[in-house]
Amino acid sequence: MVSGGNTTESISRPDQDIELTIVVPCFNEEERLPRTLDTVLSYLLQQDYTWELIIADDGSVDETPEIARRAAEQENVRHLRLPHRGKAAAVRAGVEAAQGSAIVFTDADLSTPIEYVTTVCRLTRESWDLVIGTREGKGARRVDEPIYRHFMGRLFNYLVQMLLVRGVRDTQCGFKGFRADVARDLFARSLLYRGDGDEIRGPLVTGFDVELLFLARKFDYQLYELPVTWRHVEGSKVRPGLDSLLMMRDLIRVRINDARGRYDALPPREFAAPVGSTER
């Protein structure tokens, strides 16, 4: 089925409520994706809650689409074949398509262990609106992180806390979970990287997470910072110089949008109904 330029492939699922959707955005991940999918599915198949896995393929040009297509032959796995517009647009498309009561997005390198999704399910069933992985503070660990990456991250977080989101010590961990209604509201209100522009070239790492967290604070959602063990995995798409500049530009754009009242003027908008599963 094709809808809005996106292709969804999967087999049909049982008619039952889904408790958890995991969205894995990926761009040219033929080397890492097979192991990631094996790890995620092996874990999920042992759980007693209902789930679905969405592979949000950001216009990959290697074997990633074929790997995702084969994975989507399994029950409860979907492959979104998307135009190449960057990670933020891929995550947004995954959230649009999600049918779970809780939605988690996590990086394709699985640098944050998948086991934390069960904690997200529990916390969102309790009183928390969103749960973000944090690599700072008691109980958190960073493993094998290059010094330059750590320095970049701390400098960026200093700017984030100064300009937009005070008190959150790690906004950029690639593991974040939401109650589904909260995810839809935040992504509907967000203005950056809406996925309706031209296709791009190469990877695009941005500060879209910061806008979501800024909006969560602005609209009084309850945020839980979950200490995680995070392991650096070789093959990162981050480009230290260019991406740092793009992310700083995003901070300024969010601040300007807020100063102009653009977030205040936006009423909550529902996404379109999730894309159905019609292809096998």
| pLDDT (0 to 100) of residue 280 | 27
Sorted by where each starts, the structural domains of the chain and their CATH numbers stand as 2-259 (3.90.550.10)
Q: Quick check: 91 pLDDT over 90?
A: yes
Question: What separation in angstroms does the CA of 242 have from each of 84, 152, 205, 247, 259?
Answer: 18, 12, 9, 9, 26
Q: Per-residue pLDDT averaged across 221-238, rounded?
A: 86
How do beta strands 130-134 and 175-179 pair?
antiparallel
pLDDT score, position 79:
98
- Pair 255, 163: CB distance under 8 Å: yes
Q: What is the pLDDT of residues 104-130, one digit of tens each?
A: 999 999 999 999 999 999 999 999 999
* 278 Cβ contact partners less than 8 Å away, ≥ 6 residues apart: 1, 8
- Please determine, for residue 191, whether its predicted confidence score (pLDDT) is greater than 50: yes
The model's confidence at residue 148, banded by pLDDT at 50, 70 and 90, is: confident
Mean pLDDT score, 64-79: 97
The 10s digit of each residue's pLDDT in 230-278 is 998 876 656 555 667 788 899 999 999 999 999 997 655 555 444 433 2
Question: Helix, strand or coil for residue 154?
Answer: helix
User: Model confidence at 279, in pLDDT bands (50, 70, 90)?
Assistant: very low
Kindly report the pTM of this predicted structure.
0.87
Chain centroid, CA 279 distance in Å? 24
